[in-house]
Chain A
Amino acid sequence: MSSLGLAFADGAVVAKRNLIKIRRVPEILIWTTMSPIMFVLLFALVFGNAIEVPGIDYKEYLIAGIFAQTVLFGSTFTGAGLADDITKGIIDRFRSLPMAQSAVLMGRTASDIVYNATSIFVMTITGLIVGWRIHTGPFDAIGGFLLLLLFAYAVSWIMAYVGLKVSSVEVVQNASFMFIFPLTFVANTFVRQDLLPGPLRTFAEWNPVSAVAQAVREAFGNTGSLPEPDVWSLAHPVAYTVIWVGIILAVFVPLSVRQYRKAASR
């Protein structure tokens, strides 16, 4: 088998191991899907009556933002999982085996796609219950979901690097929240970016999370009579998102693999 083939085969073995773990400890999945459900319900039912987004019903507007936010938070699962494996000595076991150096990371990020897909599914159901609807055809909608998963996959690699670097589950979770919160709130996720003041508006316009939310909104036909965005990033949200995905992967895949090679236990 070629070395790339071996890397995929080894990655599949590791991914299978991670999926067994999700199945054995369903609490992890249950509790992490609770928070997006809570977000959907709180925003739709509490803020839905208070926040006005001119041009569209708030529930319609909100869901794409929550989707983007949730996959971003979901990516911390990758970092936390790797940090946990380092602490428990599993990474040492893997590193002493003649397996492909990239396999543990490929397997981890691959199994986390399943994890993210599950939480997107749960949110979709919750959204439908509170009155959100998809107004486009199945191909557009599937495109929207795939873009979310692609973005989540790329961010997983950032978190993989963080997890290997700090090797503490708690630090991964707390530190990443400090970055993810501003990223998901200074964006068009919950309010219209063109109504934000000065520098916040610029940040929100070029924030990749805004592009993801915009792309998903368009894919589901949740744009109502919102004005057409006039910045390039939001006028071409799919292209802009894919560019970010490319940059993140180009930087963090090699960086993470390098970090894996010298990951120290304890």
Chain B
Amino acid sequence: MVGMIRTSGLVKRYGKVLALDGLDLEVPKGTVLGLLGPNGAGKTTAIRILTTLLDADEGIAEVAGLDVRTEPHKVRERIGLSGQNAAVDEHLTGYENLDMVGRLYHLGRQKSRARARELLDQFELDEAADRPAKTYSGGMRRRLDLAAALVAEPDVLFLDEPTTGLDPRSRAQMWETILKLSRGGSTVLLTTQYMEEADRLADDIVVIDRGRKIAHGNADQLKAEVGGERVEVVVASSDHVPATASILGRISQEEVHIDEPTRTVTAAVTGGVDILGEVLQRLRDGQCGIVDIGLRRPTLDDVFLSLTGHVAEEAEEILEQAHEKGDVREKEAVR
């Protein structure tokens, strides 16, 4: 297997903040790597470096065997970028956007036009082809953006949070499209904050937090690594939460997780269905008003929780603030 995307010891600093702290990645040809992590984990920074938009401070980044630092122009001929950072021009029509991108890939007039029409058909944008992109819905814009990344039929695709902010239906459509692309042999690096997305699309998942790789494997491996099952208990009143947490804490293999607003307590257990009866008995004895109780296999959310010790969303808030500061520093650093 040839690594179409490879980074080694990648470091990027914004002032004192380490956005990437020695990141190693390897994406074999024709596979999808899901780069999973909360906001500010360094996902976008990694994509920006690999797509030649940003220089790394240390380490190596290669795309299709080309060093992004020394051969950025050749790298750009091989890649397509879509998502948070690349955009479509809202004043141009869908067709004009794609035609322009084709011309800038130097496909020539005829081929650019033909390819634009072909992609508009493929992404079900043919009816909206001659309307300015500002009249498009969020989902249509994302599809156009992805189409723009595919104009030159690149070997390597970078999709930066391709479904963030999309409604469930558009998200499902986008997933369908990405799956089709990967079946077609494209090598894809995809960043996401959604565990479900990585689970659905990625052959291989790298979880990163604070610029560092904290886990690597396919979805099943990661879940197995966390091990066991999850007992989830919803109680009637928030008064019952502490007692429930303490009972579950005695049988849980890790710290129990409490979600106050939904009055949900989650514990990692082993022993399958048998344990459920035992938990139920103990909770009854403790007179905890149970509304709902269930046993489930770990999700990637649990994986993330167990790996980082914080939930994706909590981390998001904390890191978003750090990231905003990082952005300011980014601009300063650029100056």
Contacts and interface: CB of A to CB of B under 8 A. Distances in A.
Interface of A: 6, 9-10, 13, 16-17, 20-21, 24-25, 88-90, 92-99, 103, 165, 167, 262-266
Contacts of A89: 84-87
Contact of B132 (A6, A9, A16, A24): A24
Interface string B86-117: 11111110001000110111100000000000
B16 interface: no
Contacts, number: 79
Given A10-B104, A20-B92, 16 more contacts: A9-B103, A16-B100, A88-B90, A89-B84, A89-B87, A92-B87, A96-B53, A97-B76, A97-B105, A98-B74, A98-B104, A99-B105, A264-B54, A264-B334, A265-B53, A266-B327
Contact of A92 (B53, B101, B104): B53
A96 B68 CA distance: 11
Contacts of B77: 98
A55 to B, nearest CB: 48
Contacts of A20: 91-92, 96
A96 B132 contact: no
Given A96-B81, A97-B105, A17 B53 contact: no
Contact of B91 (A21, A93, A97, A266): A21
Nearest to A265: B85
Contact of B106 (A6, A167, A263): A6
Interface string B309-335: 000000000000000000100110011
Contacts of A16: 100
A120 B294 CA distance: 74
A89 B48 CA distance: 12
- Which of A10, A25, A94, A95 has the largest number of chain B CB atoms within 10 A? A95
A9 B334 CA distance: 29
Given A20-B96, A90-B89, A96 B103 contact: no
13 contacts: A9-B103, A13-B103, A16-B100, A20-B91, A24-B91, A88-B87, A89-B84, A95-B52, A96-B76, A96-B79, A98-B76, A263-B334, A266-B327
B92 A21 contact: yes
Contacts of A96: 51-53, 76, 79, 81, 86
Contacts of B335: 165
B73 A98 contact: yes
B148 interface: yes
Interface in B50-91: 51-55, 73-74, 76-77, 79, 81, 84-91
A25 B134 CA distance: 12
Nearest to A95: B53
Given A165-B335, A264-B54, A98 B106 contact: yes
A90 B87 CA distance: 5
B109 to A, nearest CB: 10
A92 B89 contact: no
- Which of A97, A99, A265 has the largest number of chain B CB atoms within 10 A? A97
A92 B331 contact: no
Contacts of A97: 76, 101, 104-105
Nearest to B84: A89
Contact of A93 (B73, B87, B90, B132): B87
A88 B335 CA distance: 20
Nearest to A164: B334
A20 B96 CA distance: 10
- Which of B52, B76, B88, B91 has the largest number of chain A CB atoms within 10 A? B91
A88 B84 CA distance: 10
Contact of B105 (A90, A98, A167, A264): A98
Given A17-B100, A95-B53, A97-B76, A264 B86 contact: no
A260 to B, nearest CB: 11
Nearest to B85: A92
A264 B79 contact: no
Contacts of B79: 96
A181 to B, nearest CB: 26
Given A17-B100, A24-B91, A98-B106, A92 B86 contact: yes
Nearest to A94: B104
A25 B132 CA distance: 11
B82 to A, nearest CB: 9
A172 to B, nearest CB: 15
- Which of A9, A24, A263 has the largest number of chain B CB atoms within 10 A? A24
Contact of A13 (B85, B91, B104, B327): B104
A17 B89 contact: yes
A97 B76 CA distance: 5
B25 to A, nearest CB: 18
A88 B92 CA distance: 14
A7 to B, nearest CB: 12
B327 to A, nearest CB: 6
A263 B331 CA distance: 9
B136 to A, nearest CB: 14
A25 B91 contact: yes
A43 to B, nearest CB: 34
Contacts of B81: 92-93, 96
B330 A264 contact: yes
Contacts of B51: 96
Contacts of B330: 264
